[in-house]
Amino acid sequence: MLDLFTSLWHYRGFVFSSIRNEFVARFVRSRLGAIWMILNPLAQVTIYALILSAVLAAKLPGIDNRYAYAIYLTAGILAWTLFSEIVLRSVTLFIENGNLMKKIMFPRIALPTITVGSCLLNNVMLLLAILIIFTLLGHPPAAALLWLPFLTLITVALAVGFGMILGVLNVFIRDIGQVVPIGLQFLFWFTPIVYPVSIIPERLQHWLLLNPVYPVVHAYQNVLVYHAPPDFKKLALVALVSLGLMTLGLFMFRKAGPEMVDAL
């Protein structure tokens, strides 16, 4: 397993240049450039906030701000966007780069690394836009923001674990690529992003423990909305699950490498 990361380090120039080229190519003919990366999630937040705050007259306990729901939604969307983007791109990663894997000699682990780097760059730009918007809405960031790199690391690990496993399986069972977007839709609504966890009856809240994304999203909301530290007990369990999924994903990737090239 160590040789995977050693070869990745030797090709670090290729990885960084690929991330840069992907970023530049995405916006080379776009007048708005990188703004398009943040417009979609922010538009989604605006719609949800309008419906819940204005139409339904919903109130968010624990935060005294007329834009409370917009702030709450944006914090959850920030975590969800990073997780879902990595998973969705990883599922089709090897299929989309099949010709590259056949014709060019390079460490295959570079492909998911480039994907993660690109998604992280997108997420950082979204975070900067969110912090500016929060400040304009009268909710400036606090010292709890320093926990975000730690939360980002756990989010990436969880997403990579799921993404690697599903990406390898999708090479051999193409139906997985069709099922995953549907599954993510269900997972999104099973995660308290659009609604606070307090509206779920207490007798049903224990079901949220089956959702590994929930502790991560909840931690983002604590840090960005309530300016409080994350719940480390819940995050510790997610970190262990993420480590196990990543280990399994790397093992599958290493073992199935030759068969993947043939299947592609």
Q: Can you read off the two tokens belonging to residue 157?
A: 């690990």
118 touches 88 (CB < 8 A): no
DSSP letters along 80-120, please?
HHHHHHHHHHHHTHHHHTHHHHHHS-S-TTHHHHHHHHHHH
Residue 98 pLDDT exceeds 80 = no
Q: Does 237 or 5 have the greater pLDDT score?
A: 237
pTM of the model: 0.88
% residues pLDDT > 90 (the chain): 38
The residue-averaged pLDDT of 2-10 equals: 70
Distance CA(214)–CA(196), nearest Å, equals 11
Q: What is the pLDDT of residue 90?
A: 93
Residue 16 pLDDT exceeds 80 = yes
b vs e for 76-93, b when ≥16 Cβ sit within 10 Å of the residue's Cβ? bbbbbbbbbbbbbbbbbb
Q: What is the pLDDT of residue 64?
A: 72
Residue 3 pLDDT exceeds 70 = no
HSE at residue 147, side-chain half, CA atoms within 13 A, is: 23
Q: Which of 40-44, 73-77, 132-136 has the lowest mean pLDDT?
A: 40-44
pLDDT bracket for residue 185 (50, 70, 90):
very high
Sequence-ordered alpha helix ranges (H) in the chain = 2-10, 12-27, 35-49, 68-91, 93-96, 98-103, 110-136, 148-172, 176-189, 213-224, 232-263
Would you kindly state where each structural domain of the chain is located, as residue ranges?
2-263
The residue-averaged pLDDT of 68-94 equals: 91
